[in-house]
Amino acid sequence: MAVEASEPGTFLALLAESDRAALAKLGGRRRFARGQHLMHQGEPGDRVLILRRGHVKATFVEPDGKEIVLSFRGPGDVLGELSFARSESRSSNVVAIEPVEAQALAAAEFSSFLSRTPSAALTLIDVIGRRFRDANRARVRFGASDTLGRVAARMVELCERYGEPADGGVAIRLPLTQEDLAAWTGSSRAAVADALRTMRRLGWIETARRRIVVLDLDAVRARAG
């Protein structure tokens, strides 16, 4: 099984080359269309997925039906690692935001791999720790910020992880919708639309359907705080 390019900081990117090669021989490939669930909130944590191509969003649906976007994941990321490690049901949904290909492993198979590959187990612990640190930083930052500030902070994060030079600025290659951005910033769609209009008027960004180009990253970063 060929190993595709992984995004920086992901599980596959941080693995030693020999560990990546051993892991690539396990499980099987699955493909998912845009909008398809890879995992469902509440289902048993009996398998682990490793993203090989495409991006997904992790969401939590509250009892009243409100959806909260927890994170976005891309090639090299491991999914289902928390429910697998704690033998619990899934705490969130995972939905493809574009066509996705993933490597699927049964929980027992992944556990066996980690047991005989301690360096991979330590890498997984490192990845989980990074995720919790990032989530805590975002929670602190968002606590004292308005919608424009929260949207600006997410723009900076998107540029740092998914940005590429284009059109005189930084193009975010993640295909986001306004609904995604609203659910990710804890804001209403109307408030996010207003924040995006303000950023366009100031010349900080350009937007098209499912595409954002940040023209003045310094200004956006300053507004993020």
By C-alpha distance, which of 73, 42, 43, 76 is closest to 58? 73
Q: What is the pLDDT of residue 153?
A: 92
By C-alpha distance, which of 7, 6, 15, 4 is closest to 124? 15
Sequence ranges of the domains in the chain: 11-141, 146-224
> What CATH architecture applies to the domain 146-224?
Orthogonal Bundle (1.10)
Q: What is the pLDDT of residue 10?
A: 94
The pair of structure tokens assigned to 13 is 């990117």
Tens-digit pLDDT profile for residues 108-147? 999 999 999 999 999 999 999 988 888 777 777 676 689 9
Q: What is the pLDDT of residue 2?
A: 40
Give the Cβ contact number of residue 160 at 10 Å.
12
Helix-helix angle 189-201:147-162, to 10 degrees: 70
Tens-digit pLDDT profile for residues 69-96? 999 999 999 999 877 666 678 889 999 9
Tens-digit pLDDT profile for residues 147-194? 999 999 999 999 999 999 987 899 998 999 999 999 999 899 999 999
Mean pLDDT of 15-29: 96
Q: What is the pLDDT of residue 3?
A: 41
Q: What is the pLDDT of residue 143?
A: 67
Q: 11-141 adopts what CATH topology?
A: Jelly Rolls (2.60.120)
